[in-house]
Amino acid sequence: MNDSQIKIQDKWKKGFVLGYDCITYANDEIVIGSVYRTKNSNNGEIKQSWIPKCDTQLEKIEKYNNDIWVECEIYNGSFEFENQKIVFGDGEMGNEGFIASTKLNGELNWSIFFTFSNPIFKAEVINNLPICNNSDTKITIDLNELTNIKIDEIF
């Protein structure tokens, strides 16, 4: 393991994730995402989207900002799926949410942090897709391609 991989695992064990809209992999790959909303002028329908913007690594992010970690709280309801554990919860501000996959021993595989989502209080797998919910949003993640994230408003 390189220093960044060790740091990512150490921070995870202490209850921290990267505080950006991003996917953080245990191997030090980081995919920065962007969230945007569009409104259909014909029917007023609002659509929110998460798209990958760029790939980077921890060292490159820390070069410009050393205050990048957010304390997270894992909520009850974690579950095992295909030899991994899926956990979820919120960030320290309460208006953020995250979902993560760990090995059964607790070592991080990946985490996805959302600055827009409010706490994720429920997660389940339906048709091999993790579905995360908070009070007004449903987030669907493709386990075969984590950057394929779909956001639906719940009314």
What digits encode the pLDDT tens for the residues 128-148? 777 777 667 888 899 889 999
- Summarize pLDDT for 44-95 with one digit per residue, the tens: 888 888 999 999 999 999 999 989 999 999 998 889 999 999 999 998 887 7
Please determine, for residue 104, whether its predicted confidence score (pLDDT) is greater than 70.
yes
14: left (phi over 0), alpha (psi -120 to 50) or beta: alpha
User: According to the model, what pLDDT value does residue 154 have?
Assistant: 65
Average pLDDT of the chain is 90
Place of tokens 């609002």: 46
Q: Which of 148, 87, 141, 108 is nearest to 28 (CA)?
A: 108
